[in-house]
Structure 1
């Protein structure tokens, strides 16, 4: 089978990582509960920043946010490694800006994500992911962002939302833990 994955806040805990960096850089101690209560992708509000200030903060910290110690969600790396070991194909489809593509791919490899040549797609707009997903004829696709997930409601691919505070309004299947993926596959196999 073919599996597609967004990266940020799907496989890696990027927003929470950035939240901790904001606390450090702004010399603040905003509680993690404020982060977990956010119903937006943007994380600037608990710090009292405007959207413009928040965007500037993110851009100024992009190097640290994307390429330092951002942790993978528990079980994500092992789950993808097992998929590959079991003979499945794993594709990465990220809307990170094009200037981050090669370094993102290298970062994934350095952090033990299984990345095969030709299975990494980067630099498209959120709404353009649908074309790649359809062209690849993915069996499963996993993402966190409502703007992306909403474009995939009518594709034959089995689409799952990675459960986050900002995508609770979506009425599509959810993945609560990467350890649950093997069970989902097992439940779906008879119908494939």
Structure 2
């Protein structure tokens, strides 16, 4: 199986960095912090370097990659490429060389024949649902989507269960 893996707030806790710098999001059910504009991440690239890994995500991906292929598919600005590779290596995430920057995750998933995408962003989820089988790393802003999971308490078990439901011969 081929998995696409989002990075921000799926394996890297960028929201926690934003909260420390900008204060809490006054509406956590809203994906975007009101103080973040379109240029924020291009001018604040260090956000991607200082984000902490989401607990359990590295072990989850290291387990997943034993029987599957993964690609990191991110909407981060291309200017964050070196920081992102360094972050993945520093935190011992697998396959750091399979990194794609795009504003069109659905097209990339189709080009790579991705079987499953792991994502948190409502914008991306709206585009992916019905096109690619999608698992949702649970965040306050994506509660309306099915297939939500946390890494703690068996994220890999949930994914393996979903794979078996979709592909019982696996």
Distance 1:64 1:98, change over 3 A: closer
Q: 1:63 to 1:152 in 2, by over 3 A?
A: closer
- Equivalent position of 2:71 in the other structure: 91
Pair 1:184 & 2:123 matched: no
Structure with higher helix content: 1
The secondary structure found in structure 2 opposite 1:15 is: helix
Shift of 1:189: 2.3
Number of equivalent positions: 166
In structure 2, the residue matched to 1:55 is 37
Instruction: Identify the residue that residue 14 of structure 1 maps to in structure 2.
Output: 14
Query: Pick from 31, 43, 52: which aligns with 1:41?
Result: 31
CA-based RMSD: 2.5
Partner residue in 2 for 1:109: 89
8 Å Cα contact 2:42/2:77 also seen in 1: no
Match of 2:141 in 1: 166
Q: Take 2:3 and 2:26, find their aligned partners in 1: how far apart are those partners?
A: 28
Distance in 2 separating the partners of 1:14 and 1:133 = 23
* Alpha carbons 1:79, 1:179 under 8 Å: kept: no
Q: How does the TM-score come out when normalised to structure 1?
A: 0.75
Name the structure 2 match of 1:48.
none
Note closer, same or farther for the CA distance 1:178–1:141 as it changes in structure 2 (3 Å cut).
farther
- Structure 2 counterpart SS, 1:55: coil
Q: Which residue of 2 aligns with 1:131?
A: 107
Q: Tell me the residue number matched to 2:100.
A: 121
Deviations 1:62-117 (A, max 9, x none): 1331112x111110011111222x23211100011111123212221122111253
2:72·2:100 contact (CA, 8 Å) conserved in 1? yes
* Structure 2 residue runs without a partner (length 5+): none
Q: Is the 8 A contact 2:10 2:120 kept in 1?
A: yes
TM-score calculated relative to the size of structure 2: 0.84
Extract unaligned runs of 5+ from structure 1: 24-33, 45-50
- Tell me by how many angstroms 1:148 deviates: 0.5
